[in-house]
A and B are shown apart, each in its own frame.
Chain A
């Protein structure tokens, strides 16, 4: 199982690297769209599989709960740690230890000591950019799964303190 996990980690990182570095080096926003689209397709297919044995969802909250519990357990062997909602179509799913970010450890502030201000700022910038890129795939996963369950939405990610991160789901009405 550990090997399979490392493989998935490696595939996700390599996919991001290929799209950002090779194919769309000049256009990061295009790379982001492509990565998100791959996630969308995967989420679309997985949601079909993981909802096979369960009764139909009666409302949006139930579907979101399914994403938080069962879908997340299948993917990351843990559930979402915190779910917040404003009851008007916005949900915030917080994962305190997001598996695909646990290997990412570039913290610009700890490397301040032996580099100049400018360098560390630039380093922090690219690190943040790379990490953001890593999150487009899981965003696509969530959006694909919810869309397949009949809930059109947009998903964005926020990573203020690694390896915790939160996904913001906005349901389109």
Chain B
């Protein structure tokens, strides 16, 4: 199950941050998202991994914590997408697929002429679409 997703702008400014838990752990999840920004920076600035993954948008597993796994995605426009999940065996393909849909939703949201670039995404329909994508991620694994 995905517990938190975030969109972070090119100056590390938060554009969208949403947790999907009943419990009151939003702050902890936001902290995890925050930490992952450093990991992304490190990945991008010292690419010591093998060549094919060098400039791919999907960054893969950023780091595992005790209860969560954090995945990242960095677009051409330096916008970062972060996903925190409690699933311990996530297939890369599923994560990739999730981010592709998430990115598409983001692109549609920023194409709204009333959206100000660099400001938080306030669109309700974007929120609803992300929720749907997050829900379908869990069900995609079981089916």
User: Which residues of B are found within 8 Å of A45, using beta-carbon distances?
Assistant: 110-111
Using a CB-CB cutoff of 8 Å, which residues 50-64 of chain B contact chain A?
A: 54-57
Asked if B75 is an interface residue, CB under 8 A from chain A, the answer is yes
- A48 near B10 (CB under 8 angstroms)? no
Q: Do A48 and B107 touch (CB < 8 A)?
A: yes
Given known contacts A44-B117, A52-B104, A56-B74, what 12 new A-B pairs fall within 8 Å (CB)? Answer: A45-B111, A47-B76, A48-B107, A48-B110, A51-B77, A54-B57, A55-B54, A55-B56, A56-B75, A57-B55, A58-B55, A149-B77
- Count contacts on B: residues with CB < 8 A to the other chain: 18
Task: For B10, list chain A residues within 8 Å (CB).
Answer: 150
Q: Give the nearest-CB partner of A62 in chain B.
A: B55
B119 within 8 A of A: no
Residues of B within 8 A of A55 (CB): 54-57
Residues of chain B having any CB pair with chain A under 8 Å:
10, 54-57, 74-79, 103-104, 107, 110-111, 113, 117
- Interface size of A in residues (CB-CB distance below 8 Å): 16
Say whether B55 contacts A51, CB under 8 Å.
Answer: no
**Contacts A/B (CB < 8 Å), 28 sampled:** A44-B117, A45-B110, A47-B76, A47-B77, A48-B75, A48-B77, A48-B79, A49-B107, A49-B111, A51-B75, A51-B76, A51-B77, A52-B75, A52-B103, A54-B57, A54-B76, A55-B55, A55-B56, A55-B57, A56-B55, A56-B57, A56-B76, A57-B76, A58-B54, A148-B77, A149-B76, A150-B77, A150-B78
Report the Cα distance A51→B113, complex, angstroms.
19
The answer for the CA separation of A54 and B113 in the assembled complex, in Å, is 24
- Complex CA–CA separation, A68 to B64 (angstroms): 41
How does the 8 Å CB contact mask read for A48-80 relative to B, with 1 for contact and 0 for none?
110110111110000000000000000000000
In Å, the complex CA distance between A86 and B104 comes to: 36
The residues of B that contact A149 with a CB separation of less than 8 Å are: 76-77
Top 5 nearest A-B pairs by Cβ distance? Answer: A51-B76, A55-B55, A56-B55, A45-B111, A148-B77
Residues of chain A within 8 A (CB-CB) of B107 are 48-49, 52
A169 to B77, CA, bound (A): 19
Residues of A within 8 A of B55 (CB): 55-58
